[in-house]
């Protein structure tokens, strides 16, 4: 875990420490089931459709005839802003952790459409910590603690598309569609409240509750069933380091006895100064309605993030993502026949985020013999800058489709590896050592670059009953029981000058120019 923290906070993971998406995307995300994980039916049931992750450009569907501004290399749309909230509850019993979370995203797109996405996830795993006294601060009870957690989870949800307002003015359509999406989100929340009420009080009169919820629906409401079904699996490894001090008694056993049993630990207070997380996600999205109906997209994401500081927080994050789209009916039939799959679209997205702000996370505890009672909490706000790059390939022939499928499955001389091919590099003239995929990205890919500013607010609260075993300066401790609640809200808005790469010019280079389909519409503050 010390390697994890050092690597993540430094935002530099050594190649030999396995940073995900190396050798083959599916093998990395599913090491137990091997390279065939993505070709089994485990993720191809009644699941989801495509997306391009944070900052992805969306583009058109396979075979999209739309050629914006007369340039087939200009992506059709971009993500203008995203408002995301995530609520997580973690329960710990001894070394076992069980977590539940709900993530809601409200996204505004430059073509005037709005998407609302909601995913709930449940996970389980193990956790442990070890602490040691700091020799130079022995007289003051100085101590340090290193903790680590491993979690695996799965979840599901849906995405609703709001595009019913079509006046021909993307800015006006965006405002109207956003209003509909916000009303529908309020309806879903109210409707969930009614279901919860009926769960703990089956005899309650539900008519008034459901009627009130229904009143929040927008005029142009979507179907209650989502336009896109989402299934998600994830693996997360995290670590943190905290420093603090312990409080000791004078050890006297009686008021006037003068006897002493030696100093006793009474409690502690500590603050987290370093934390880091590595996450591997597999999201499957199956589209039910709209222009991309009947498509299934697998999205593989590897994220490394961390923060450092007590009182003043510095944060950083790196993300690599691959999204590959198939015709759902053909994919399902190929599964039954054991035949090779034929992807129709590939999107590679990378992003880097760096920021700072104020925040603190502390923990205080009191001892009763070997048993400790800990109460913790904190909160903060950070401002950051996000740079996102995306490369989109429409695979309209068998040669390109087979090349991409072999790359994903780890076949051939140039399988998927870490780091992923850079969209920026794809705009340069390919070198003599360029892989077939890198040449394909250069020749046919829609390449784009975006910058966002983001504000993140969070708070955390925890309560635990623990047990500690001391051995010299070291203490092995674990919670008998604990509960932790975390809320995070993040708003990101496009900034700077969005650009895309034109087609190859004389000499092979692809110049970057203004992305007009991205700048024609302005995000609406929420």
Q: pLDDT tens for residues 413-443?
A: 777 877 888 899 999 999 888 899 999 999 9
Mean pLDDT of 108-128: 93
C-alpha to C-alpha distance for 76 and 221, rounded to whole angstroms: 25
pLDDT of residue 57: 38
Cis link prior to 511 (omega < 30° from 0)? no
pLDDT of residue 33: 38
Q: CA end-to-end span of the chain, whole Å?
A: 39
More confident residue, 432 or 51: 432
Mean pLDDT of 277-285: 92
Helices (H), 201-277: 207-214
C-alpha to C-alpha distance for 163 and 423, rounded to whole angstroms: 29
pLDDT at 333 over 70: yes
More confident residue, 187 or 133: 187
pLDDT at 59 over 60: no
pLDDT at 44 over 80: no
**CA geometry: angle at 151 spanning 18 and 27, to 5°?**
40
More confident residue, 174 or 311: 174
* Assessment of whether the complete model's pTM goes beyond 0.75: yes
Name the average pLDDT for the chain.
78
**DSSP percent split of the chain into helix, strand, coil, nearest 5:** 20, 50, 30
Are the CB atoms for 503 and 61 separated by under 8 Å?
A: no
Per-residue three-class SS string for 154-205: EEEEEEEEECCCCCCCHHHHHHHHHHHHHHHHHHHHHHHHHHHHHHHCCCCC
C-alpha to C-alpha distance for 70 and 372, rounded to whole angstroms: 68
pLDDT of residue 442: 95
| CA distances in angstroms from 340 to 32, 376, 428, listed in the order given | 22, 52, 32
What would the two tokens of residue 423 be? Answer: 């969209």
% of the chain surpassing 90 pLDDT: 46
- Cβ neighbours for 289, distance < 8 A, ≥ 6 positions apart: 161, 223, 227
pLDDT of residue 387: 95
Q: Tens digit of pLDDT for each residue in 400-409?
A: 999 999 998 8
Mean pLDDT of 1-17: 41
Helices 207-214 and 170-200 pack at an angle, to 10 degrees, of 170
Q: Tens digit of pLDDT for each residue in 166-190?
A: 888 999 999 999 999 999 998 888 8
Give the range among 24-38, 91-105, 273-287 with minimum mean pLDDT: 24-38
- Cβ neighbours for 336, distance < 8 A, ≥ 6 positions apart: none
Give the β-pairing of 345-368 and 311-327: antiparallel
Give the range among 167-181, 243-257, 382-396, 475-489 with minimum mean pLDDT: 243-257
Most confident of 36-45, 193-202, 358-367: 358-367
Mean pLDDT of 475-483: 72
Tell me the β-bridge partners of 492. 82, 454
More confident residue, 148 or 206: 148
**CA geometry: angle at 372 spanning 369 and 373, to 5°?**
135
């Amino acid at each position: 875990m010390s390697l994890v923290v050092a690597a993540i906070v430094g935002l530099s993971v050594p190649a030999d420490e396995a940073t995900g998406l190396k050798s083959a995307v599916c093998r990395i995300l599913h090491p137990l089931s091997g390279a065939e994980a993505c070709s089994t039916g485990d993720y191809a049931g009644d699941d989801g459709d495509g997306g391009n992750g944070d900052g992805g450009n969306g583009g058109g569907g396979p075979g999209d005839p739309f050629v914006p501004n007369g340039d087939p290399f200009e992506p059709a749309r971009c993500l203008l802003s995203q408002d995301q909230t995530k609520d997580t509850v973690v329960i710990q019993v001894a070394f076992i952790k069980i977590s539940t979370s709900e993530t809601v995203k409200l996204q505004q797109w430059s073509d005037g459409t709005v998407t609302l996405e909601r995913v709930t996830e449940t996970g389980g795993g193990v956790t442990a910590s070890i602490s040691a006294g700091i020799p130079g601060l022995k007289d003051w009870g100085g101590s340090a603690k290193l903790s680590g957690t491993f979690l695996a989870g799965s979840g599901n949800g849906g995405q609703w598309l709001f595009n019913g307002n079509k006046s021909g003015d993307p800015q006006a359509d965006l405002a109207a569609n956003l209003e509909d999406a916000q009303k529908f989100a309020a309806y879903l929340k109210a409707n969930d409240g009614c279901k919860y009420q009926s769960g703990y009080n089956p005899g309650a009169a539900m008519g008034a509750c459901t009627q009130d919820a229904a009143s929040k629906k927008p005029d142009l409401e979507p179907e209650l069933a989502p336009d896109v079904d989402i299934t998600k699996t994830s693996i997360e490894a995290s670590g943190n380091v905290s420093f603090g001090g312990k409080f000791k008694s004078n050890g006297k056993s009686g008021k006037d006895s003068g006897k002493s049993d030696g100093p006793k630990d009474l409690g502690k207070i500590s603050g987290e100064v370093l934390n880091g997380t590595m996450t591997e996600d597999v999201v499957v999205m199956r589209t039910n309605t709209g222009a991309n109906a009947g498509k299934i997209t697998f999205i593989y994401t590897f994220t490394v993030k961390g923060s450092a500081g007590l009182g003043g927080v510095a944060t950083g994050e790196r993300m690599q993502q691959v999204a590959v789209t198939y015709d759902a009916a053909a994919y399902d039939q190929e599964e039954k026949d054991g035949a090779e799959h034929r992807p129709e679209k590939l999107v590679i997205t990378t992003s880097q985020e760096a920021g700072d702000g104020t925040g603190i996370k502390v923990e205080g505890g009191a001892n009763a013999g070997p048993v400790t009672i800990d109460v913790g909490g904190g909160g903060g706000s950070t401002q950051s800058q996000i740079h996102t790059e995306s490369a989109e390939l429409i695979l309209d022939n068998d040669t390109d489709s087979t090349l991409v499928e072999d790359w994903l499955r780890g076949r051939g001389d140039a399988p998927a590896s870490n780091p992923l091919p850079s969209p920026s590099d794809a705009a340069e003239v390919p070198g003599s050592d360029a892989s077939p995929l890198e040449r394909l990205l250069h020749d046919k890919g829609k390449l784009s670059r975006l910058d966002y500013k983001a504000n993140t607010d969070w708070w955390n609260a925890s309560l635990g009953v623990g047990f500690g075993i001391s051995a010299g300066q070291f203490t092995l401790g674990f919670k008998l029981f604990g509960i932790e609640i975390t809320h995070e809200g993040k708003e990101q808005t496009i900034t700077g000058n969005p650009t895309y790469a034109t087609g190859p010019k004389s000499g092979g280079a692809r110049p970057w120019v203004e992305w007009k389909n991205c700048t024609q519409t302005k995000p609406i503050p929420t």
